[in-house]
Copies of this chain bind each other. A is one copy, B any other.
Amino acid sequence: MTPLSHAFTKISAAGSEKTVGRLSLYRRLLERHLASGKGRVFSHELALLAGVSAAQVRRDMMGLAVVGNPALGYDVPALIREIGLQLDAAEPEGIALIGVGHLGRAVLAYFQSRRPKLQIRAAFDIDPTKVGRVIQGCRSYPLQELESVVRDEAITLAIIAAPASAAQDAANRLVRAGVRGILNFAPISLRVPEDVRVDDLDLTMALEKVAFFARKGADGRVVSEGA
């Protein structure tokens, strides 16, 4: 490596896969905690809520620019703010939803006013009876208009809730239109360029795992998306 180039660069380090998932979880728990009137929290309290160890919570906090107070714990609004700085983009990001069947509608309903920085700005379907409408506050378009709408709405992320047969084609077009990340519900492995992120949310796998571990005696709680 080059000897001098970066004296010391890396400051924020919230990096790893698992950590990011937990921060997302912590934020939701902390929002609820705050809503119930508690402005401070100890690592062991948050740990209990999240189902992890107190040491894990403190370790995760190390990546955030917050300091806890041994007598008072952590300041909840500060934690929420700091997690937001780590996880959220500076500007709100636009999301395209592919597929307006039951799953697509469930996803739309789910993300109603949940995270203002993540906005589902357009839904697409091949079925002509499902397009041209506003569903859960989101306009639905015919699939042909994907490229133009994605570009016009500055969409950078997508959720694929379409059948497997349509998923790869949709992915190709999304990527070509500029999408950088895809959350995929279809049970196939999408082929995308190296620099596009795809996370698969695999319901069969999820259910088979629960079944397996339920059968083999007791054990911990697991949170997903995940892996």
Does A81 lie at the interface of the complex (its beta carbon under 8 Å from any beta carbon of B)?
no
Say which one of A1-9, A55-63, A123-131, A215-223 lies at the interface with B: A215-223
Closest-CB distance, A181 to chain B (whole angstroms): 3
B226:A187 contact, CB within 8 angstroms: no
Closest-CB distance, A110 to chain B (whole angstroms): 5
- Residue count of chain A within 8 Å CB distance of chain B: 70
A 177-227 contacts with B by CB, 8 A: 180-183, 187, 189, 194-215, 217-219, 221-227
The CA of A214 and the CA of B21, in the complex, are separated in Å by 14
Does A34 lie at the interface of the complex (its beta carbon under 8 Å from any beta carbon of B)?
no
The CA of A192 and the CA of B144, in the complex, are separated in Å by 47
Q: Which residues of B contact A106 (CB under 8 A)?
A: 101-103, 106, 161
Q: Which residue of the partner chain, among B29, B115, B205, contacts A225 with CB atoms under 8 Å?
A: B205
B218:A227 contact, CB within 8 angstroms: no
A200:B214 contact, CB within 8 angstroms: no
A157:B214 contact, CB within 8 angstroms: yes
Q: Which residue of the partner chain, among B28, B87, B103, contacts A102 with CB atoms under 8 Å?
A: B103
Can you list 5 contacts pairing A with B, beta carbon distance less than 8 Å? A20-B209, A199-B223, A200-B222, A201-B206, A210-B225
Q: A21-B205, A198-B210 are in contact. List 11 more A-B contacts (CB 8 A).
A: A17-B222, A87-B211, A101-B106, A106-B106, A106-B161, A183-B210, A195-B217, A198-B221, A198-B222, A201-B201, A205-B225
Which 4 A-B pairs give the minimum distances between C-beta atoms? A226-B226, A181-B214, A206-B225, A226-B227
